[in-house]
Structure 1
């Protein structure tokens, strides 16, 4: 199995809108380092069966997929319904045209209800004609209950996202836990034995109200003892080279387009 990190930035991306010249606010990061240019968080799971699963439809989805050379998606999975994870949904119609069919899509009941409110046109049954809008084949999933997407077994983990909930994903010995500020005992138990931990880390110090900071992430690492930890959903204080030079062995910043074999 392989994972492609499509986007590793926060909800505003990096650079954020603004800056002294209007060309972007890079915060404390070096604009000359291309790995500091971060789009909104998303991954693609490449299954052993050759099928691809897109996790979240970020507003940057079009150039993420084209930039990474991923021309076909076989299924979708949503971790939660925040805009940085679903606002690219309209571009799914192009994925439908490539596949020639509605895309199987997996989410909790709460996420489906939110998507129906915000993207009602995309939630209608496919009429069998031209894909002028997204066409999804919805499947409801439940935290703590494993499910299969083709030949890939996924265990969804309920996560505390501050003012809301999100799903972490365990796939074999790898876990993807974006948009989380606290992991309770049940979540930590579900993550025991992982070897690769892709995890939300928005700040270098204290937690953000909805996202973990580095100190909290390191506490999780001490408990889980993964072989490799890769940081994602990084904010404007998270400079790539500074992190590489200061993080201990086994912990590294991710970057857009990074590929991880598991």
Structure 2
């Protein structure tokens, strides 16, 4: 199995819209470092049989897939229904055309209810022919209940995302936990023994109301002791080279296009 980090930024990406010259607000990061340019958080899991599982369809989806050279997606998993994780849903119609069928998609019942409210046209019956809109083949998943997909056993993990819930995902020795501010004992137990962990870390110090800060992440790492921890969903104070120079061994910043072989 291989994993590609499509995007490692926060909900506004980096640079954010604005800036003195209108070409972007870089916050406290160095604009000359290309790994500080971050799109919205997403990954692709490359299954053992060669098929690709996309996690979330953020607003940068077209750019992310073309930038990383990924020309086909075989299934989608949604972690939650926030816009930075679902607003690229319309690009699934192109993936439908490549796949030739409605896209197998996996989410909790609450996420499906929200997506049906906001993207009702996606859920109309597909009767064959040209994909002029996205079409999904929906599957319900739930925290704590593993499911099988392309030879991979995937465990959804319930996460506290401040004002809502999100899903982390564990596949063997790898786990992906974006958009989380607190992990309870059940979640930590589900992550026990993980070796490669991609985890939300929005700030270099204290927690954001909906996202973990570095102090919290380091506490989780002390408990779980993964061999490798990669930070994602990084905000405008998370400079790549500063993090490389100051993070303890075993923890590193991710970057868009990074490939892992967990």
User: Which TM class, normalised by the smaller chain length?
Assistant: over 0.9
User: In the alignment, what sits opposite 2:44?
Assistant: 44
User: In the alignment, what sits opposite 1:256?
Assistant: 256
User: In the alignment, what sits opposite 2:59?
Assistant: 59
Give the superposition deviation at 1:150: 1.9
Q: Distance in 1 between matches of 2:220 and 2:169?
A: 16
**Counterpart secondary structure, 1:180:** coil
Give the superposition deviation at 1:205: 0.5
User: In the alignment, what sits opposite 1:127?
Assistant: 127
Q: Distance in 2 between matches of 1:74 and 1:166?
A: 22
User: In the alignment, what sits opposite 2:83?
Assistant: 83
Q: Distance in 1 between matches of 2:189 and 2:22?
A: 46
Q: Residues 2-151 of structure 1: matches in 2 within 5 Å?
A: 2-151=2-151
Give structure 1 regions of 4+ aligned residues with deviation exceeding 2 angstroms: none
User: In the alignment, what sits opposite 1:167?
Assistant: 167
Q: Distance in 1 between matches of 2:214 and 2:243?
A: 10
Give the superposition deviation at 1:105: 0.2
User: In the alignment, what sits opposite 1:231?
Assistant: 231
Give the superposition deviation at 1:238: 0.1
**Counterpart secondary structure, 2:32:** coil
Q: Distance in 1 between matches of 2:261 and 2:138?
A: 29
If the length of structure 2 is used for normalisation, what is the TM-score?
A: 1.00
Q: Residues 151-190 of structure 1: matches in 2 within 5 Å?
A: 151-190=151-190
String of CA shifts for 1:49-94, please: whole Å, max 9, x gaps.
1110000001000010000000000000000000000000000000
Give the superposition deviation at 1:253: 0.1
Give the superposition deviation at 1:144: 0.2
String of CA shifts for 1:173-217, please: whole Å, max 9, x gaps.
011000000000000000000001100000000000000000000
Q: Distance in 1 between matches of 2:172 and 2:78?
A: 19
Q: Distance in 1 between matches of 2:112 and 2:5?
A: 24
User: In the alignment, what sits opposite 1:203?
Assistant: 203
If the length of structure 1 is used for normalisation, what is the TM-score?
A: 1.00
- Aligned-residue RMSD, C-alpha: 0.4
**Counterpart secondary structure, 1:216:** helix
